[in-house]
A = this chain, B = another copy of it.
C-alpha cells in the first residue's frame, strides 16, 4: 500500500525507532487467554524507551467502559511527561476486579528494570475483555525485554501489539522545524475498531522534536478527529483505544511553545503519520479486501462533510456492495440520506473512482447513465474512492473504511479462537 504525502515531509524507515534516542523491543512472554487452544506463537509484550525524558500527551477511547491501563496512563500523563511505554496483547485487562492493580504492577515492573519511577511509564493492553491478567509471564519476561532494547527494535515491538492484524502498520517522516531536521514515527495495531475477542486500536508515536506537552495535546486532539476518528472497520468503539505521542527533544530544535510555523510543521508531520496509519488500519480491517476512501466536498461545513463521509463508510450495505464490486450507488445515496446533517439531497453528485478510472453515477440526486462495464473495472481495484459533492459550500472531509466480507464474519464468528 502506497503512503500518501501531504505537505513537506519525507517518508523514512524505522517506525517508532526512526526518531533519535528511542529504543524498542518485543518478546513472547507467554500470555494466553482462556479458551485458546494454543499459546500465541508471536510476541506479546513490548517496550519503547526514550534516552531522555519526553513531553507526552494522549487521547483515549470515549467508551464508558474503559480498560484499566487507560485509567493508569491518564494518571501518569497528568504531568505531561513520560519516558517509556509497556504494552501487552492477548489480554485487555478490562472489566476485571483487579485491573488497576495489575496495570500499576506492569508499570512498577518496567520502572524497576529500567531504573525509572512508575509515573514515567505509559501502560496499554489489548486482547480479550473480562479475563484476569496473569502478571507472572510479564514479571518473568521483563528482564529479557529490557535487555533486548535496541535502536532498531521497532518491528519486534510492533509484532508484540498485533492481534488479528494481517500486516504491520508503521510510518515515519522527516520534517524541518526552525532549520533543524526532526523525525517522527509511529506504529498502530487494530484491524477492527474493536474486537474484544483479540483486540483494540493502539497507536504509539515517537519524535525527537522539542515541543511542549500542551501543544502535543492540541495537535493530537485536532489530528485524531480527521484521521483515526474518520476511519471505521465495524463501527464499534473499543474500551482500550489509545493514541500517545512522546517527544524527547533530541533533534535540538528551538522548543515549540506556541502555535507558530514550527507548530504547523509538527502538526503536519503528525497528520502524515496518523492519516497513513488510519488508511492502513482501514485497509487491514478484519476480513477486508479493499480500502475505501470517501471524500465529501461542497459541504456547508467541515462537520457536515465529516458526518456524510462517515455515514457512507459505515453502511453495511455499501460495504457489502464494495465487496461485490457492484456500483450500487443507490446504497451510497441512501447512506448520505440518513446522515444526521443538513443539505439538499437534490444537489448531490456522486463519482466512483480508482486507479482504473472514474465514473459519474449520480447527478443532482438522480441516476445518470453509465457503463456498468467501466464501473466493474474501477471497482476491481483494491483502493476505491467515492467522491460526493453536496454543492453547498467549501466544507470537505475524507473518511476511510473497507468492504464487509465473509472473512469478517468468520474472524468474529469463530468461538474466541
- B97 near A366 with CB under 8 A, answer yes
The reply to whether the CB of A315 lies closer than 8 angstroms to some CB of chain B is yes
Closest 4 CB pairs of A and B: A129-B330, A65-B337, A320-B412, A324-B413
- B195 near A65 with CB under 8 A, answer no
The reply to whether the CB of A365 lies closer than 8 angstroms to some CB of chain B is yes
For residue A238, which residues in chain B have a CB less than 8 angstroms away from its CB? 334
Instruction: Output the least CB separation between A227 and chain B (Å).
Output: 19
The reply to whether the CB of A378 lies closer than 8 angstroms to some CB of chain B is no
**Known contacts A65-B336, A366-B97; A330 and B408 CB within 8 A of each other:** no
- B97 near A338 with CB under 8 A, answer no
CA gap between A129 and B330 in the complex, in Å: 5
Partner of A334, one of B196, B320, B326: B196
Instruction: Output the least CB separation between A318 and chain B (Å).
Output: 8
Instruction: Output the least CB separation between A194 and chain B (Å).
Output: 6
For residue A414, which residues in chain B have a CB less than 8 angstroms away from its CB? 324, 326
Instruction: Output the least CB separation between A350 and chain B (Å).
Output: 10
- B338 near A64 with CB under 8 A, answer yes
> What is the total number of copies of this protein in its complex?
2
Stretch at the interface among A74-82, A229-237, A259-267: A229-237
Q: Which residues of A contact B (CB under 8 A)?
A: 35, 62-65, 92, 94-97, 128-131, 192, 194-197, 234-239, 314-317, 320-321, 323-326, 328-331, 333-339, 343, 345, 362, 365-367, 372, 404-406, 408-410, 412-416
List 28 interface pairs A-B (beta carbons < 8 Å), by A numbering.
A63-B337, A63-B338, A64-B336, A64-B338, A64-B343, A64-B345, A65-B334, A65-B337, A95-B367, A96-B367, A97-B366, A129-B334, A130-B362, A234-B316, A235-B314, A235-B315, A236-B335, A236-B338, A238-B334, A239-B337, A316-B408, A320-B408, A321-B413, A323-B409, A323-B413, A324-B414, A326-B415, A406-B409
**Known contacts A65-B345, A367-B95, A406-B406; A412 and B130 CB within 8 A of each other:** no
For residue A97, which residues in chain B have a CB less than 8 angstroms away from its CB? 366
- B412 near A317 with CB under 8 A, answer yes
**Known contacts A97-B366, A405-B409; A196 and B331 CB within 8 A of each other:** yes
CA gap between A63 and B343 in the complex, in Å: 12
For residue A405, which residues in chain B have a CB less than 8 angstroms away from its CB? 409, 413
For residue A326, which residues in chain B have a CB less than 8 angstroms away from its CB? 413-416
Partner of A316, one of B63, B316, B337: B316
CA gap between A239 and B335 in the complex, in Å: 9
**Known contacts A337-B64, A408-B320; A328 and B197 CB within 8 A of each other:** yes
CA gap between A54 and B373 in the complex, in Å: 49
Instruction: Output the least CB separation between A305 and chain B (Å).
Output: 16
- A317 near B195 with CB under 8 A, answer yes
